[in-house]
Amino acid sequence: MNFKNYYHETPSKSTQRILNRYDNEDHKTAIWNTFVDHHLEGIADDDFSITPRLIPESYFPVIEKTCKDITTFLLKVISLPESEIKAIVPEGPLRNYLINELKVLKHQPKRLTGSFRFDMAIVGEPKKNNPPKLLEVNEIGFDGLARSNVFQETLMELIPELKKKAIALDTAAAEVRNMQRLGKDIVRLQYDCYNWDEEKLRLRALELGSRLHLISPSQYKCKINHKDFPLLERAPFTYSNGHVKLGKLKPDAFNMSFAFTLDDLKRDHDVYAQMIRSKTPQYGPFITTLIASKTVLILLSDKNLRRKLLGSAEKLNDAILPAFSLAGNFDEARDNYGEYVIKHTDGCGGEQVFMDKELLKWIKKIPAKRQHEWVIQKKTLLNTIDVNGILSRSKKVISDLGVFIHYDWQDGKFTHFEVGGLMCRATNKGLKVNVSSGGLQVAVMLEKGK
């Protein structure tokens, strides 16, 4: 990639000298051996940088404030009366099915407790008047919560000098503490497996006095390989006086482990309809799917809506990349395709995202009646960092910033809000940083005193 005009992040000189001493094959081998010998299997399957990304500690309050404003906007949208939500949230396949078929707005929870991962980008020097830009919102079934813990623990152990230089946020603990606001017995619903990220979260919950049960509802009719997934139970999903039961267990709350496609919702319609009506709280409620679709980027770009929900049209002005629907804007997208990225409203994991000539080619295939399902967003220049992967080599890469948000919201305000963790994906192979698109994972820490 050509990195002209991209801002390149570097830590302080003293910290850089430390990292330089570990930017070698011996350290790479030490990390590889640690991952391979780890009791959590699969850690070494994806590329990972042997040195962390360091963000100034002084920049963290900027991240916190920006994310709190974004979260306030999102939760206020889904706290509006049903008629207003229907009028404000643009139509899309998942949105329509949740509202029309599963009646998610008929059973709006009065309390919203859960977490988000905001995929963001620092563009330019990380300083007070330059907040990170929001790329997209992830809610149910996003990855990385406990993954970041393992990465940070490994680097702190193998680069002990970092302990005096950097702060590593305990993301898994922040998630567990937020879950504990609903109770200490939480069921995490799975299909036929779980990953090492979820296994680490379960272990962190046990350390903090909670029980995170990994259960596959028998209604899913999944065949479970108990040798490969010994922690995964199978139990019928039933109700007692409107409260969830899984076998004999009556959890304090339940949480979904996977992001939904429209086919998922249709396949197990009755199960999800019952969950939505349940008196047992859901950690990460179904209704948040309405504000994690890509069309929410259009809502955040609307200054009138920001004025209505945040009290000022100027709030988030520097954190929101302009976004609009392809419907009614086809000529703009076609004529200036190099300036934009196009995303399907219900896409996830980097799928159905197109840029440059791919964008131009793709929009010509979209029928006019489906154009409202596609969001056009202004491109930006993600900062570059230096990395060295366990499965690759030293290189300069573009990098996003995954920010983990934990919230508890009731009566139009937060009873708890926390930015509990940071993580990063990076690549020099293209403009999509997802690991599935050839990116690698990078631990993110805060550099003390900078």
5 class by beta-carbon count within 10 Å (0-12 exposed, 13-18 middle, 19+ buried): exposed
CA atoms within 13 A on the CB side of 189: 25
DSSP per-residue letters across 93-117: HHHHIIIIIS-TTTT--SEEEEEEE
Going by the DSSP 8-state scheme, the letter that residue 11 receives in this structure is -
Average per-residue pLDDT for the chain? 95
Helices marked H in 302-435 — which ranges? 303-310, 330-335, 356-363
pLDDT at 350: 64
Sequential DSSP letters for 435-450: GGGT-EEEEEEEETT-
pLDDT-derived band of residue 341, with 50, 70 and 90 as boundaries? very high
Residue 143 has pLDDT above 80, yes or no: yes
Query: Taking the chain, what is the end-to-end CA distance rounded to the nearest angstrom?
Result: 30
Q: What is the mean pLDDT of residues 293-314?
A: 95
pLDDT for residue 326 is more than 80: yes
Report residue 42's pLDDT band, with 50, 70 and 90 as the boundaries: very high
The mean per-residue pLDDT over the stretch 77-96 comes to 95
Q: To the nearest whole percent, how much of the chain has pLDDT over 90?
A: 91
pLDDT at position 233 = 95
Split at pLDDT 50, 70, 90, the class of 349 is: low
| 212-242: b (≥16 Cβ within 10 Å) or e | bbbbbbeebeeebeeeebeebbbbebeeeee
Kindly state the average pLDDT of the residues 4-25.
96
Helices within 23-59 (DSSP H only): 25-37
In which band, very low, low, confident or very high, does the pLDDT at 1 lie, cut at 50, 70 and 90? confident
Strand, coil or helix: what is 371?
A: helix
- Report CA dihedral (211, 212, 218, 222) to the nearest 10 degrees: -140
H helix count then E strand count, the chain:
15, 19
Give the model confidence (pLDDT) of 400-421 as tens digits: 999 999 999 999 999 999 999 9
pLDDT classification of 432: cutoffs 50, 70, 90? confident
pLDDT score for 2: 85
pLDDT at site 430: 82
pTM higher than 0.85: yes
Report CA Rg, the chain: 22
Q: Rounded distance, CA 151 to CA 436, Å?
A: 18
